[in-house]
Amino acid sequence: MTVAVIGAGAFGTALAVALSANGPVALWARDAQAADRMQRTRENSARLEGITIPQNVTVTADLHDLEGRETVLLAMPMQQMSGFLEIHRDLFLTKRLIACSKGIDIASGQGPTGIIRSKCPKAVPAILTGPSFAADIARGLPTALTLACEDVNAGEGLQRALSTPVLRLYRSEDVIGAELGGALKNVIAIAAGVVIGAGLGDSARAAIMTRGFSEMRRVALLRGARVETLNGLSGLGDLVLTCTSQQSRNFRFGHALGRGEDFDPSLTVEGAATAKAVSNLAETHQIDLPIATMVAALVDQKITVEAAVSALMSRPLKEE
């Protein structure tokens, strides 16, 4: 199976490096100069320092170089996916398109596979998600992820083709559950970062993770997902990782919020946009998502950390 990765950020580069163990991989970078530099130096020093890009990874800025690749991994920010596929849909109409983004599109309220279906209806959509950091994958550290695809035969083929000796993929048909787990855990990771940044302690972080997981399950049920999917790698597993590590961009963003510090605006924080989308969902469907709603308010600077904590702690007492 011929493979291409769209997006030469840290995660896209890491996936290309890992999948090169199975054969040649094409890695597309938006910036032609960056693509040329990576192809020559065999490094992505700006995004994934210290990792050597294998010789069987071809880095290119020309999308037409990917025409013969039947399987394409979309490793781009969630809010860019719709526009990208709209512009380039003719190149991807009949391919296997695997979303590697974690989020909800603000404009449409759709997840990654929904965007793929709307823009490339003849393509086979899937999502690769779960607890993983780019540096770990690129270094060949053992990692387990969820590959969700509604087409069972296609999912089994992708699972075999994309698994490596150190990258273990578990297959699921619950695409909605897998993509919601990956999206929503980023929102809770921001909240966990806020708690630690504000000096509220590990006990408070545990409470945020637990009650946040309850909110994740609530949204999943609303959208028709299976609760057991949220209990797996793409939900609980990813939540634990991103709420407890400084490698998590969403956690670091929340940590900066909690400390009242600025955060690097060049870094994509998927959970910030997702929090707004989830807050809109809560309002539309009248479901109780207090943590996600508070994160959205914090991101938009509509509330202070102190006020958010006070609001959460003064909610009516109830049964768990």
User: Does any domain span residue 319?
Assistant: no
The alpha-carbon radius of gyration of the chain (Å, integer) is 19
Residue 316: pLDDT band (50, 70, 90) is confident
Q: What's the whole-model pTM score?
A: 0.94
Boundary residue ending a domain (155, 173, 191): 173
- In total, how many domains does the chain have? 2
Mean pLDDT along residues 284-307? 95
**DSSP letter (8 states) at residue 155:** H
149 lies in the same domain as 202? no
User: Which residues are CB-neighbours of 241 under 8 A, at least 6 positions away?
Assistant: 131, 132, 133, 248
User: Does any domain span residue 15?
Assistant: yes
Does the annotation mark 302 as catalytic? no
What is the layout of strands, in order, in the sheet containing 143-148? 57-60, 25-28, 3-6, 71-74, 96-99, 124-129, 143-148, 167-172
* Of 95, 185, 276, 318, catalytic: 185
Residue 315: pLDDT band (50, 70, 90) is confident
User: Does any domain span residue 318?
Assistant: no
Would the pLDDT of 199 be above 80?
yes
- For 212, 244, 301, the CA distances from 305, given in Å and listed in that order, are 17, 19, 9
pLDDT in tens, 240-265: 999 999 999 999 999 999 999 999 99
User: Does any domain span residue 104?
Assistant: yes
Please report, rounded to a whole number, the percentage of residues in the chain having pLDDT higher than 90: 93
154 lies in the same domain as 296? no
194 lies in the same domain as 147? no
- Domain extent, residue 309, equals 177-313
Boundary residue ending a domain (144, 173, 202): 173
DSSP string for residues in 262-320: ---TTS--HHHHHHHHHHHHHHHHT---HHHHHHHHHHTTSS-HHHHHHHHHTSPP---
287 lies in the same domain as 187? yes
Would the pLDDT of 67 be above 90?
no
Mean pLDDT along residues 214-225? 95
- Provide the CATH number for the domain around residue 258: 1.10.1040.10
32 lies in the same domain as 119? yes
pLDDT recorded at residue 50? 94
- Provide the CATH number for the domain around residue 139: 3.40.50.720
117 lies in the same domain as 235? no
15 lies in the same domain as 134? yes
